[in-house]
C-alpha cells in the first residue's frame, strides 16, 4: 500500500502544480512533459524513472480531455482511428527501446527532435493556421502511405520518450494529413491516449514507474486537462494552439539546454 506521508510536502505541492500545468498543456497544445519531466528530475527522480512515471499522468490527462471532447461531439472517430493504429504500433516498439537505452542517447535524440520541431513551426505557419473545415464522422479522408509512415515514426518517438511527441503528432496530422489545426488537436488527444496507454503498460511491467509520485501528478493532470478542453473547443482555438506550441517548444529547448550545462544545477 502506498504511504503518501512519505512524500515531502514541498515535493507533493510541486507534483500537483506541474500536473495541473502538464494536463493543461497536453490538451490545449502538446508536450505537457515539458513541465512534468524536468520537475521530477529536479526533485531527485532518475530520468528513466521520471520518463515512466510521467506516462500515468499523460494517460489520465488525455483520457479526461478525450471524454470532454466526446461530450461535445467534436471527435471525428473514423479519421481518429485511422491515425491511431500506426501510432500505437510505433509506440509499442519505442517503449521497449526506451527502457533499454542509455540516458545520453535519449538526450541526443531529444536535441535533434526539438530542433526539427522548432524549425517546422517557424517555417510553416500558414499551413498550420489554414481555415478550419468540418471533418464529419462519415467523411472519407484520403491518407496516403506517407501519412501512415510518419504516424508510425511519431508513435515510435512517443513510446521512446514523451518529450516533444505531442507537437510531432500535431505536425504530422496537419502537414501530412491536411487536417485543420483545431480538429487535429482534438483528434490528437485520443491518438496520444492510445499510444501512451501502451507505453504505460510496458513501463509498468518493467517497474519503471514511481507510483507514489505518479498518482498525485495524474489527479492534478486530469484537472488541468478539463480546464484546457473548454479553451480548445472555442472559436479562437487554432490561434491559441499555435501560440502555445511555439511557447512549449521554446520551453522544451531551454529546459534541455539547462540540464545539459554541467555548470548549472539539474
pLDDT tens digits for range 178-210 = 888 889 899 999 998 988 888 899 889 888 899
d(CA 237, CA 12): 32
- pLDDT at residue 235, rounded to an integer: 77
Domain ranges of the chain: 9-260
pLDDT at 84 over 50: yes
Q: How many CB atoms lie within 10 A of CB 15?
A: 27
Residue with cell 507537437: 167
pLDDT at 1 over 80: no
State the DSSP H helix or E strand holding residue 228, giving kind and residue range, or none if neither: helix 211-232
How far from 249 is each of 31, 74, 137, 235, 242, CA to CA, in Å?
8, 26, 31, 24, 11
- pLDDT at residue 265, rounded to an integer: 41
- pLDDT at residue 170, rounded to an integer: 86
- pLDDT at residue 160, rounded to an integer: 75
The helix/strand/coil state of 37 is: helix
Between residues 125 and 266, which one has the greater pLDDT?
Answer: 125
Residue of 40, 53, 87 whose CA lies nearest to 189:
87
- pLDDT at residue 137, rounded to an integer: 46
pTM of the model: 0.79
Residues in the chain: 266
What are the φ/ψ torsions at residue 129 (nearest 5 degrees)? -110, 25
d(CA 182, CA 170): 10
How far from 44 is each of 38, 146, 161, CA to CA, in Å?
10, 41, 19
pLDDT at 261 over 70: no
Between CA 256 and CA 190, with CA 121 as vertex, the angle to 5 degrees is: 85
The helix/strand/coil state of 45 is: coil
- 3-state helix, strand, coil split of the chain in percent (to 5) is 75, 0, 25
Q: Running DSSP on this structure, what letter comes out for residue 132? A: P
Amino acid at each position: 500500500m502506498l504511504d503518501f506521508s512519505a512524500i515531502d510536502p514541498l515535493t507533493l505541492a510541486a507534483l500537483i502544480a506541474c500536473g495541473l500545468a502538464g494536463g493543461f498543456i497536453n490538451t490545449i497544445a502538446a508536450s505537457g512533459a515539458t513541465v512534468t519531466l524536468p520537475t521530477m528530475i529536479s526533485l531527485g527522480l532518475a530520468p528513466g524513472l521520471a520518463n515512466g512515471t510521467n506516462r500515468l499522468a499523460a494517460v489520465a490527462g488525455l483520457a479526461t480531455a478525450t471524454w470532454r471532447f466526446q461530450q461535445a461531439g467534436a471527435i471525428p472517430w473514423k479519421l481518429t482511428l485511422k491515425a491511431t493504429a500506426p501510432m500505437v504500433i510505433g509506440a509499442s516498439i519505442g517503449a521497449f527501446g526506451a527502457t533499454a537505452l542509455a540516458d545520453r542517447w535519449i538526450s541526443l535524440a531529444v536535441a535533434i527532435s526539438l530542433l526539427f520541431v522548432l524549425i517546422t513551426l517557424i517555417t510553416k505557419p500558414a499551413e498550420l493556421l489554414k481555415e478550419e473545415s468540418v471533418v464529419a464522422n462519415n467523411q472519407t479522408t484520403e491518407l496516403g502511405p506517407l501519412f501512415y509512415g510518419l504516424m508510425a515514426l511519431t508513435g515510435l518517438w512517443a513510446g521512446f520518450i514523451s518529450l516533444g511527441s505531442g507537437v510531432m503528432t500535431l505536425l504530422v496530422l496537419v502537414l501530412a494529413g491536411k487536417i485543420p489545426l483545431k480538429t487535429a488537436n482534438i483528434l490528437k488527444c485520443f491518438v496520444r491516449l492510445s499510444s501512451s496507454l501502451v507505453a504505460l503498460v510496458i513501463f509498468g511491467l518493467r517497474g519503471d514507474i514511481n507510483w507514489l509520485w505518479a498518482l498525485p501528478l495524474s489527479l492534478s493532470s486530469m484537472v488541468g486537462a478539463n480546464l484546457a478542453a473548454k479553451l480548445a473547443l472555442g472559436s479562437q482555438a487554432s490561434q491559441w494552439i499555435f501560440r502555445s506550441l511555439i511557447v512549449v517548444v521554446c520551453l522544451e529547448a531551454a529546459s534541455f539546454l539547462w540540464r545539459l550545462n554541467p555548470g548549472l544545477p539539474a
